Amino acid sequence: METSLGQVNATSVIFFLVFIAITLYITYWAAKKTKTTKEYYAAGRSISGFQNGVALAGDYMSAASFLGICGMTSLKGYDGMIYACGWLVGWPALMFLMAEPLRNLGKYTFADVVAFRLKQKPIRVAAAIGGILVLLTYATAQMVGAGNLIKLMFGLPYEVAEVIVGCVMLVYVLFGGMIATTWVQIIKACLLLGGVTILMLLGLSHFDFNPGVLYGEVQKMYSVKMLNPGGLISNPIDAISLGLALMLGLLGLPHILMRFYTVPDAKAARKSVMWATTFIGYFYCIIPIVGFTAAVLVTQKTIAGVDPGGNMAAPLLAELLGGTPFMGFIAAVAFATILAVVSGLTLAAASALAHDLYLNVFKSGVATEAEQVKVAKRSTIIFGICAILIGILFKGQNVAYMVGLTFAIAASGPFPAIFLSIVWKKLSTAGAVAAIVVGSVSAVICIILSPTVWVDVLKNKEAIFPLRNPAIITMTLAFVCAYVVSILTPDPEAEAKFESEKVRCYLGVGAE
């Protein structure tokens, strides 16, 4: 099959320019409404539950999972489906354990929740460190992925792609704050869900709209092995640890948690998780079908020929089914997806730097609105430039482990501290700081010593730490640290405030 992938393609450029034009217009409109910190970080709490649900789905469905899982299913078959399943299960957990307390107790960042009754400064510093670590690793994975994808799809040089993504994203966040970022997410989520749905329907039209017929073709063309579980789960403890990281890591991702402050109340927060779960569940149910369709119609040989990792399975299928215009559309959607996800990360990082560190640590909570917004914008620029530089620095590196690392840090650092601060009266300031620092740092160290980095990236013979994802060990360690340190350093003042926290947490009284 001849493909025009990798060449500058007029339709994809047009689709992309239309997307940029619309989102920049929204940014212009949002900029006029973005004056205070409440508007900059939380869109003035004016986003509805449904809108926030779509935006959450947009934040979570990255180009890496769209293209990656399609490719994995098309080349390896059933294992892609196991992987897809793991990405959804965090959402119900987020709903059951955290959505409402998070909304009721916080203002702009998850540190607000942890610091509610504990000492502001140490908590804010620890939370900012843990949060920035999560955001940086995630942004690295996204930026490197962005450069590679854009190179594959549009033929643009890697560095140019990094600078374009970084600059467009900075315009959204800098001028439009959370209002613009939310609408960019919503548009991107609709485009992505719509694009994948059309792709699936066009594909299934070749199989009488019956997935069973598709599986039959897969079996005939390759072997029955494509439909059976393969080698993805060779070590069950590893699989359990990865599952734990995916499930509970979601509950510690700062850019996801931040979205809860854009809605008016806990009920809307609950509604947004329900919608997010619906869209994300639908997305991960149909992605494997697209992958199988690509395997039959495009053939594995062609897919692997363009990119050995299989990442181009979906654009290739689009080209086959809808010609160059449809491929251009899918490519533009993938680009838009990266832009939107990086915007969300940058805004979350700006809130950690400006709201947690600048306002609550350096200024002890006293600064004018204008000053705070100014610092938030400066933080946005700093993180944006860091993201571009890191993207260029990591050019050509294998960063697949970065996403796993992000979830491992989030599950081991922020999550235990937030969860305990909500449910456990005796959690002390030192205990919470210990949990965040020990959890985050141990997750980073264990990943470096694990087979994923020590063997695959650093080319050593044997890994020092046996598990590919350390969450099962490091998260437990964080909880144990929080318990032991809290028992050793009781915090009577914090315990006394637990009652008013409970009233706000469960009844929403006094929530901002």
The binding site for other proteins (CB under 8 A) comprises 78, 81-82, 84-86, 88-89, 91-93, 95-97, 100, 211-213, 215-216, 218-219, 224, 227-229, 232-233, 236, 239-240, 243, 247, 267, 270-271, 273-274, 277-278, 281, 284-285, 288, 423, 499-500, 502-503, 506-509
Cβ 203 to other proteins, closest distance in Å?
Answer: 16
Smallest distance, other proteins to C-beta of residue 440, A = 24
CB of 131 to other proteins, least distance (A): 24
Q: How many CB atoms lie within 10 A of CB 504?
A: 17
Q: Alpha helices, DSSP H only, in 77-209?
A: 79-88, 90-97, 99-105, 110-114, 120-154, 158-204
Name which of 225 and 395 has its Cβ closer to other proteins.
225
Q: Distance between CA 8 and CA 289 in Å, rounded?
A: 29
Between residues 133 and 268, which has the closer beta carbon with respect to other proteins? 268
Would you give the distance in Å from CA 432 to the centre of its chain?
A: 24
Q: Which is nearer to other proteins, 144 or 276 (CB)?
A: 276
How many CB atoms within 10 Å of residue 235?
12
Minimum separation from the CB atom of position 381 to other proteins (A):
38
Looking at beta carbons only, is 21 or 213 nearer to other proteins?
213
By C-alpha distance, which of 391, 113, 63 is closest to 252?
113
Distance CA 30, CA 416 (A): 35
- Rank residues 128 and 247 by Cβ distance to other proteins and give the closer one: 247
Pick the closer one to other proteins by CB: 223 or 397. Answer: 223
Residue 391 vs 416, nearer CB to other proteins: 416
Smallest distance, other proteins to C-beta of residue 445, A: 26
> SS3 of 169, please?
helix
The least distance separating other proteins from the CB of residue 105, rounded to whole angstroms, comes to 14
Residue type, 312: M
Residue 6 or 211: the one with the smaller Cβ distance to other proteins is: 211
Q: Is residue 144 within 8 Å of 370, Cβ to Cβ?
A: no
Complex with other proteins: residue 31 or 239, whichever CB lies closer? 239
Q: For other proteins, give the closer residue by CB, 211 or 264.
A: 211
Backbone angles phi, psi at 346, to 5 degrees: -65, -40
Main-chain phi, psi angles of 458, to 5 degrees:
-90, -5
How far is Cα 67 from Cα 44, in angstroms, rounded to an integer?
Answer: 34
What is the Cα–Cα distance from 93 to 89, expressed in whole angstroms? 7
Residue 85 C-beta: closest distance to other proteins, Å: 5
Q: Which amino acid is at 160?
A: V
Burial 283-320 (b: 16+ CB within 10 A, else e): bbebbbbbbbbbbbbbbbebbbebbebbbbbbbbbbbb
- Judge whether 451 and 441 are in contact, CB under 8 Å: no
As measured in angstroms, the least distance from the Cβ of 488 to other proteins is 26
Opening angle at CA 47, ends 46 and 48, nearest 5: 115
User: What's the closest the beta carbon of residue 469 comes to other proteins, in angstroms?
Assistant: 13
The nearest distance, CB 277 to other proteins, in angstroms, is 5
Alpha-carbon distances, residue 405 vs 162, 294, 353, 481, 496 (angstroms): 22, 30, 21, 21, 37
